[in-house]
Chain A
């Protein structure tokens, strides 16, 4: 197609096509819900894993710099109406034993000698436990860990266990057609334009399926670029959509469609309504960091958002676990450190709880260079909470019949704790009246 005019339109369109090619390439390899996003961040990262999968340079350099003045530990949670929950879903089954490491355990050395870090690399918590070296930045800012989370059903299928976590089903027989986060959104719903959001998943994330609250899914942090593009063509297109939406003829569905369009433009503005150069903190270049940067901006907007879900894929470490897992945790650490600094710059940190989920942990005994699907794992939490260790460590010597860690904390109690963050009665969103875990929330 050639145009005699509007070079800027042509340029803009070429640029956008290039962007889409990036997205298409990433999407083409997507085999799980959260995989469709940009690869650019990783390509530009100078600390890519080398061929053998090890990270090449000091894994905590930039993090240490950025958090050299860690925010003071939070002693009080923000007002209830401002509270936000950020869920980072570690897809594929995060290895709890390589995240929170019982480094003193002889049993662990016997089970997975080839997967252990040197003791001097570890981030020591106490005389039993250490954090993975990649989590130094988060540790410096202050985090909590909850040990032994799992399901007594102990199913080893990603999908089955993910579904339990997505639906907040307390057992395999507890069928739900809404998501746990969606039910929390229904409780929090006050008719705002947006209560729950997923960034980096897809248009229908099962976690956020709600009965009445508005919950949305954005495939990536760059969504809506075409509404932000400069140039006559794009600007007129945007204006045309707003004009078509400015009336209310033709009934309820027509108006719902108009509302969707208007809201899409508002979100596109919110998502891009900031100059990356002017952010209070510098974010790393990963997809996760991009999504969290967008989350921070939405939290500052008047969208009303209370729950934000961001997936991080790649934790199914059947082989080459050391390098892959350290790299993923580094990506998590760097993105969350930047995000928390960003929130702290506006005082939003006291009303934000960050919590990880993962469908299961991994088998304590290594196989080759990796680990198979396991049962109990652990969660990382950050925000106005009691820092340090919570829950009970699963036993490394009394394993379940699949040779996996037996859970000490039911998923439902973890979820009840998250419901409690909003002072929602857990029995409104979970079966079987699970109790929140005491001592985490302050």
Chain B
């Protein structure tokens, strides 16, 4: 949050937040444009993009490890755009764990989330409510009208859509009944509805007494005034960084609500203004963001990121620490993360291609890393390192190591 942010740094910021990271050369390419025009363009492109088609067949041989690696490589790819960014956000927000479901279902869920990532929140929530992986993870599959399981009913309101304090325990009991009847048939792996397992007698939910279905329960939740606010706040923390000011949040929630929970207008209201550009490096890079960034910086021929390295940082897709997903705060900057990040860095072996292409000067290395505004201290340390290691390859490696370990690089 330097007072004088350079144009290049603003471009890097746009790329870090709306895609996954600023790849070498991308910032320079945009330099003659207005950063907000680039942001608008990224939103447009993301909206027009098609979700990658995936099927379990891709993973039959190497199973979930291949699935996780594939995701990681997608995030680290220069092709990654706003759809990938938002799909990652939604996985963290509407989380599911492979500990409680199977690969076949999370492959489907990943595709479902990618399809809805920039669509309509209500439609996304409707779809995820009867998604097989979610029915397993939050026990909808084990719930019935006679013996309702409240797990999904609670989390859909507490974490996904409303936030604590905006519903009652009675609302949870009613929602659990209204949502009942959907399960994953373990023989066909398909989601089915069994009317006999659904609770169909009238109940009172948020003041309305009627017969409820899964759809009307989710609609009622989405119609609560707090829904737009809760979801806008979560997206703001991820895309803009930090907590929105109350008035800002009201504005954004109004936009979201008046556009019937369409995600694109919300993102445009959030991003296409000064507020967004005033949030350079205002949040930490999470584990998977760091690994994606360092893979982009060094190239996958220098660093072939392995799913095991994600374990070190504790951010493996589909293995969240709990139903609240991964924390989005400064915990990503703590000492165990710093040890893990440096360990991953030392896994890399610079490729000849990178060595041929990147000259060991402080400016070239910083820009290659997507760093444009850095503190005097970081720059001084790099200058000193170059004096100490003038040999081409070693100097280059030292400069890259320092830049990637700098406090600036650990922020998004």
Q: Is A384 an interface residue (CB 8 A)?
A: no
A254 touches B308 (CB 8 A): no
A268 touches B339 (CB 8 A): yes
Whole-angstrom CA separation of A158 from B97 in the bound complex: 13
Output the least CB separation between A155 and chain B (Å). 11
B321 touches A159 (CB 8 A): no
- Using Cβ atoms and an 8 Å threshold, which residues of chain A touch B381? 240, 243-244
Apart from A28-B308, A254-B411, A267-B339: 13 A-B pairs, beta carbons within 8 A = A203-B337, A204-B315, A204-B321, A206-B321, A209-B321, A237-B405, A244-B402, A250-B1, A250-B375, A253-B411, A255-B407, A261-B407, A267-B335
B314 touches A260 (CB 8 A): no
Whole-angstrom CA separation of A264 from B309 in the bound complex: 17
B407 touches A250 (CB 8 A): yes
**Residues in B276-330 with C-beta less than 8 Å from chain A:** 281-284, 287, 306-309, 311-315, 321-324, 326-327, 330
- Using Cβ atoms and an 8 Å threshold, which residues of chain B touch A6? 394
Taking A226-B342, A240-B385, A253-B282 as contacts, is the C-beta distance between A159 and B99 under 8 angstroms? yes
Whole-angstrom CA separation of A356 from B405 in the bound complex: 37
Closest to A234 in B: B346
| Among A4, A204, A259, A261: residue with most chain B CB under 10 A | A204
| Among A218, A227, A237: residue with most chain B CB under 10 A | A237
| Among B150, B154, B378: residue with most chain A CB under 10 A | B378
Interface residues on chain A, number (Cβ under 8 Å) = 71
Whole-angstrom CA separation of A246 from B384 in the bound complex: 15
Output the least CB separation between B209 and chain A (Å). 25
- Using Cβ atoms and an 8 Å threshold, which residues of chain A touch B410? 257, 260
- Residues 239-253 of chain A: 1 if any B CB is under 8 Å from the residue's CB, otherwise 0? 011011111011101
Taking A250-B2, A254-B375 as contacts, is the C-beta distance between A163 and B346 under 8 angstroms? no
- Residues 214-243 of chain A: 1 if any B CB is under 8 Å from the residue's CB, otherwise 0? 101111000110110000110011001101
Whole-angstrom CA separation of A313 from B69 in the bound complex: 24
Whole-angstrom CA separation of A210 from B244 in the bound complex: 24
Q: Which of A17, A227, A246, A253 contacts B281 (CB 8 A)?
A: A253
Q: Is B358 an interface residue (CB 8 A)?
A: no
- Using Cβ atoms and an 8 Å threshold, which residues of chain A touch B349? 1, 17
Q: Is A279 an interface residue (CB 8 A)?
A: no
A244 touches B377 (CB 8 A): yes
A243 touches B377 (CB 8 A): yes
- Using Cβ atoms and an 8 Å threshold, which residues of chain B touch A442? none
Whole-angstrom CA separation of A260 from B339 in the bound complex: 9
**Residues in A254-311 with C-beta less than 8 Å from chain B:** 254-261, 263-264, 266-268
Q: Which of A232, A240, A253, A267 contacts B384 (CB 8 A)?
A: A240
- Residues 1-30 of chain A: 1 if any B CB is under 8 Å from the residue's CB, otherwise 0? 111111001000100110010011001101
B355 touches A1 (CB 8 A): yes
Whole-angstrom CA separation of A20 from B334 in the bound complex: 22
Q: Is A126 an interface residue (CB 8 A)?
A: no
Q: Is B333 an interface residue (CB 8 A)?
A: yes
Q: Is A109 an interface residue (CB 8 A)?
A: no
B314 touches A157 (CB 8 A): no
- Using Cβ atoms and an 8 Å threshold, which residues of chain A touch B411? 253-254, 257
Q: Is B343 an interface residue (CB 8 A)?
A: yes
Q: Is A42 an interface residue (CB 8 A)?
A: no
Q: Is A175 an interface residue (CB 8 A)?
A: yes
A204 touches B326 (CB 8 A): yes
Whole-angstrom CA separation of A226 from B346 in the bound complex: 8
A209 touches B393 (CB 8 A): no
Output the least CB separation between A148 and chain B (Å). 27
Q: Is B65 an interface residue (CB 8 A)?
A: yes
- Please list the residues of chain B having a beta carbon within 8 angstroms of any beta carbon in chain A: 1-2, 65, 97, 99-100, 150, 154-155, 281-284, 287, 306-309, 311-315, 321-324, 326-327, 330-331, 333-340, 342-343, 346-347, 349-350, 355, 375-378, 380-382, 384-385, 388-389, 391, 393-394, 397-398, 401-402, 405-408, 410-411
The 9 A-B pairs with the shortest beta carbon distances in the complex, nearest first, are: A27-B308, A203-B314, A204-B314, A264-B338, A257-B407, A263-B335, A216-B336, A159-B99, A264-B335
A28 touches B65 (CB 8 A): yes
Q: Which of A159, A177, A232, A261 contacts B338 (CB 8 A)?
A: A261
A202 touches B339 (CB 8 A): no
Taking A3-B393, A202-B311 as contacts, is the C-beta distance between A218 and B377 under 8 angstroms? no
Output the least CB separation between A98 and chain B (Å). 26
6 A–B contact pairs at CB < 8 A?
A16-B346, A175-B155, A223-B336, A244-B406, A260-B335, A267-B339
Q: Is A423 an interface residue (CB 8 A)?
A: no
Whole-angstrom CA separation of A16 from B349 in the bound complex: 12
Whole-angstrom CA separation of A385 from B339 in the bound complex: 36
Output the least CB separation between A42 and chain B (Å). 18
Q: Is A173 an interface residue (CB 8 A)?
A: yes
Whole-angstrom CA separation of A13 from B398 in the bound complex: 13
Whole-angstrom CA separation of A257 from B405 in the bound complex: 10
Output the least CB separation between B338 and chain A (Å). 4
Taking A20-B347, A236-B388, A250-B1 as contacts, is the C-beta distance between A219 and B407 under 8 angstroms? no
- Using Cβ atoms and an 8 Å threshold, which residues of chain B touch A267? 335-336, 339
A175 touches B99 (CB 8 A): no
Whole-angstrom CA separation of A158 from B98 in the bound complex: 12
Taking A30-B311, A163-B322 as contacts, is the C-beta distance between A203 and B340 under 8 angstroms? yes
Closest to A35 in B: B311
Whole-angstrom CA separation of A209 from B340 in the bound complex: 18
Whole-angstrom CA separation of A256 from B411 in the bound complex: 10
- Using Cβ atoms and an 8 Å threshold, which residues of chain A touch B338? 257, 260-261, 263-264
